[in-house]
Structure 1
Amino acid sequence: MPHVPAQPRPAPGPGSPPSSDRSARPAGPPARRSAWAETSSRLRAAATTEPGRLRIIGAVLAALVVAFGAVTAVEIADRAASADAVVDRSQPLSADAASIYRSLADADTAAASGFLAGAQEPAAVRERYRKDITGASRLLVKAAANTDGSTDSRRWIATLNEQLPRYTGLVERARANNRQGLPLGGAYLRYANELMTTELLPAAEKLYEEETARLDDDHGDARPWPLLSLGLGVVALGGLAWAQRRNYLRTKRVFSPGLLAATAACTVTLLWLGAGHALARAGLDEARAEGQESLAVLNDARISSLKARANENLTLVARGAVLTEDGKGDKYETDYAAGMSRLTASLGRAGQLAGDGAGRAPVARAVSAASEWRSRHRQAGESDRAGDYDGALAKVIGGEGSTGQCFDRVDAALERALAHEQAEFTEAAEGGRGALAGLPAGAAVLAALGAAGAVLGIGRRLSEYR
């Protein structure tokens, strides 16, 4: 059989399908890289050149300076808000809560004094009672409008608003019966006093404790050091110092105006931050130590004197009809003695806390008047036990030489001491708050200037490579 030579394979035409030979296939597209990998690759490549390294250094320095300014602005704004709350909100509310308590206790004292005066209640005593009730009602409205809405504060305010009309109704019934000479008036007055001591005053005391606790919280929020801001400031200054040293070692140029400006901006911010916060902290601590603590002790003293005076009056109203729980003594006389003991202790503490002569002088006058009050009360008790009720009554609610005169002196002295300590607190707290004024905005502006200086300083070096 003859040999047939192999025919050559015709070349594929333009429309022919590609050959099935794997070796003839074109290579596939390159594998795609993630954005992070691409960025990292570019940064590594840039870091191998001096211009690339300078760009990275400039970006890091600018970011550090901006972060320092931003964190400083945020932290100081938060502390300034807490300092504002101490001066403008929580301390005034605490003082108002204490005033509510004092007004209610004084109203109870005035009601008992008016009752003892008989059918012709003195106009001054009645006006004092009216002012106390009106003042307490007004302060309750203010407290309800300004409290933060916490469940506890709202509950005590609601209790006071509910029970105060009941108390005033009982007092009016006592007065009406007293004007007619009916002995039932004394019972109504004792019921009113019981309502005051078991419902109204405890609720007012709880409200005072709530608002004082909020004052302590605001004071505590304003005091902590801004450690994150201080740390970032030190890191930013360290970075700027390193960059300038690197610049000097490579170029022998001593100064870089842009980097120097950035360093100055960060230094000013850091010093302002440290000094401003230290002054604010010192002012708030002074306000608390020399103002708030003294105010709390003086409020306790004034409340104790009011309670003692009310119980002294009720001793003559009840005339031994109400005994202590063990049945061995007069309840109101026992409560009077306890109140005077608390008053003496509070006055001693107030004298120790008073920071100057202007604060100690009214406390000393209160101590002297309280001592005289005790002496006159003993004389009134002796007259009452001897059967001279009218003589005892004159020594309690009379004019010159009565226990009422001593009580008025104690109350007036404590009022002056409270006004002095309130002024001391406000001055110290406002001084502390003022030390932070402008710092958040100033830190933001200086940070922007510092970041611009860092970028310009590095940009000056970069221009040398163009």
Structure 2
Amino acid sequence: MTYTPTRGPHPAGSPPAAPEPPAGPGAAPRRRGWTDGAHRTRFSATTEPGRLRLIGASLAVLVVAFGAVTAWQITERSAAADHVVHHSAPLSADAAEIYRSLADADATVAGGFLLGGEEPQAVSDRYQKDIATAARLITQAAASSEGTGAAAQRLATLNEQLPYYVQQVATAQADNRQGLPLGGAYLSYADQRMQMKGGLLAAADDLYRIETDRLNRDYADAEALPWAAWVLGALVLATLVWAQRRHFRRTNRVFNQGLLAASAASAVVLVWLVAGHSVARARLSDSYSHGAESMQILNSARISMLQARGNENLTLVARGSGDAYEDGFNDDMRKLAGANPSGVGGQLAQALALADDSAGRGPLDAAVTSVRIWRGRHTAARASDDGGDYTTAVAQVIGGKDSAGKTVTQTTGQCFDKVDADLDRAVAQEQREFREAADSGRGALSLLPAGAALLAVLAAAGAALGIGRRLSEYR
């Protein structure tokens, strides 16, 4: 007896196995694994346990997504607020101080030049301090500034041109001590390097504007509304309410402890998110309007004041050919205090409008008074110079004896020093207000990312337990 090679003998007493029908065009295809899974999922969705599993999984995913998005968005805003306090605001302030130091150095050396011969030690010390401050802050800004863009280019310009300016001033002072007229020419070259387009002050002003723009962008990022987290939070609460209502309609049980705990945790996250971000946004807005914005205006006022003083001194250094410097002085004064010498306008009026207490208004009121006196004394000095009494004009600007040998005790330099001190006090006050409000706004967000993530995990666990308890009734 022989057997086919593909089949062995069938056991005794059992019928032979029927041969497998060949697959034909009408045969049903075999189900694959993923098709079977989809079929089982569709089938389970038609049963109550299957629906409960889908609801539980959906709730868990939504709650976790809500916590993750909240943590992500608030972390970004908290980082931007931290950037405002510790990076962009200090860089903006440093850039303004670089400009102030350079402009004050230029005005100081021009004033010392008017004295002739050896400049007083106080003048030399002030000039050296200004140059040292500018060099230190330029180095500091180069180390702190991000990237190699526009800010880095301005810092490179400052680093490159400052040594040449110092060298030209040193040459001018050496010639002036020897009574050589060439000293005036070197001083003019140094001033051109300071004032010209693409020069030191232009680079410092550009740097200040770049850093201020960065500060404003950081403020915008920190105050941006977290719409995605808000929408997800509302969706999570709505879904949890729907799930509990569905549970009540099918079981007549009022509460499901797990779903109730998930709802409470999600509600806490949403309320914390709205309240925390609202407080942070309000405090950051306050730090801007009564701190950063005020400081920007005050820094602009200090720039106008320093430029006015430099032009006032250079008008006399030019000895009869300083009409351009005199026009510059008048333009700077209009920017600083308005066109009316007896009124309050310009940058000082803007700063006064933003000052919200006596500590902020006091220095500004004093500065307004000093500017009025300065304008009056400047007019008297110009009258002396235009009348041919150069010696008296110089004494009225920087002090000393007039042409009659009398010591002039009321000078424009005294007014300049007073305005400078008043504005410095005003800036310090606004910096304190800025830091206090900005730190408060940043603090309102500090715990929210970690708290939202933790509560989201607890809410997801509560939802899973609530649905799991309901599922246990079907076992």
Alpha carbons of 1:456 and 1:395: their partners in 2 closer, same or farther (altered >3 Å)? same
The one-letter code of the counterpart of 2:218 is D
Aligned equivalent of 1:337, options 324, 330, 342: 330
Residues 194-232 of structure 1 show CA distances to partners (whole Å, capped at 9, x for unaligned) of 110010000101111111111111111112211111111
The one-letter code of the counterpart of 1:402 is T
Identify the residue that residue 402 of structure 2 maps to in structure 1.
none
The one-letter code of the counterpart of 2:441 is G
Alpha carbons of 1:191 and 1:251: their partners in 2 closer, same or farther (altered >3 Å)? same
Aligned equivalent of 1:26, options 15, 21, 24: 21
Where do 1:235-246 residues align within 5 Å? 235-246=235-246
CA separation in 1, counterparts of 2:33 and 2:354? 67
Where do 1:32-431 residues align within 5 Å? 32-198=30-196, 199-322=199-322, 330-344=323-337, 345-398=346-399, 400-431=409-440
Identify the residue that residue 404 of structure 2 maps to in structure 1.
none
CA separation in 2, counterparts of 1:41 and 1:24? 30
Identify the residue that residue 3 of structure 2 maps to in structure 1.
14
The one-letter code of the counterpart of 1:295 is M
* Partner SS state of residue 473, structure 2: helix
Gaps of 5+ in 1: 1-11, 323-329
Contact 2:315–2:321 (8 Å) recurs in 1: no
CA separation in 2, counterparts of 1:445 and 1:24? 63
The one-letter code of the counterpart of 1:381 is R
1:37, CA displacement in angstroms? 2.9
The one-letter code of the counterpart of 1:242 is W
* Partner SS state of residue 465, structure 1: coil
1:15, CA displacement in angstroms? 2.5
1:35, CA displacement in angstroms? 4.7
Identify the residue that residue 8 of structure 1 maps to in structure 2.
none
Residues 38-96 of structure 1 show CA distances to partners (whole Å, capped at 9, x for unaligned) of 33211111122222211111111111111110111111111111111111111110111
Aligned equivalent of 2:463, options 414, 433, 454: 454
Residues 325-365 of structure 1 show CA distances to partners (whole Å, capped at 9, x for unaligned) of xxxxx111111111111111111111112122211111111
Identify the residue that residue 4 of structure 1 maps to in structure 2.
none
1:36, CA displacement in angstroms? 4.2
Matched pairs, number:
444
Judge which range, 420-429 or 153-162, deviates more: 420-429
1:30, CA displacement in angstroms? 6.4
CA separation in 1, counterparts of 2:20 and 2:464? 52
The one-letter code of the counterpart of 2:288 is R
Residues 101-160 of structure 1 show CA distances to partners (whole Å, capped at 9, x for unaligned) of 001000001111111122121111111111110000110111111111141111100000
CA separation in 2, counterparts of 1:415 and 1:197? 23
CA separation in 2, counterparts of 1:131 and 1:412? 16
Identify the residue that residue 440 of structure 1 maps to in structure 2.
449
Gaps of 5+ in 2: 8-17, 338-345, 400-407
1:17, CA displacement in angstroms? 7.0
The TM-score with structure 1 as length reference comes to 0.92
The TM-score with structure 2 as length reference comes to 0.90
* Partner SS state of residue 293, structure 1: helix
Residues 238-268 of structure 1 show CA distances to partners (whole Å, capped at 9, x for unaligned) of 1111111111111111111111110110000
The one-letter code of the counterpart of 1:275 is A
CA separation in 1, counterparts of 2:245 and 2:267? 17
Alpha carbons of 1:32 and 1:107: their partners in 2 closer, same or farther (altered >3 Å)? farther
Residues 387-436 of structure 1 show CA distances to partners (whole Å, capped at 9, x for unaligned) of 22221111111173010000011100000111111111111211111111
CA separation in 1, counterparts of 2:39 and 2:19? 34
CA separation in 2, counterparts of 1:292 and 1:350? 11
CA separation in 2, counterparts of 1:70 and 1:430? 25
Q: Percent of pairs identical after alignment? A: 56
1:24, CA displacement in angstroms? 5.5
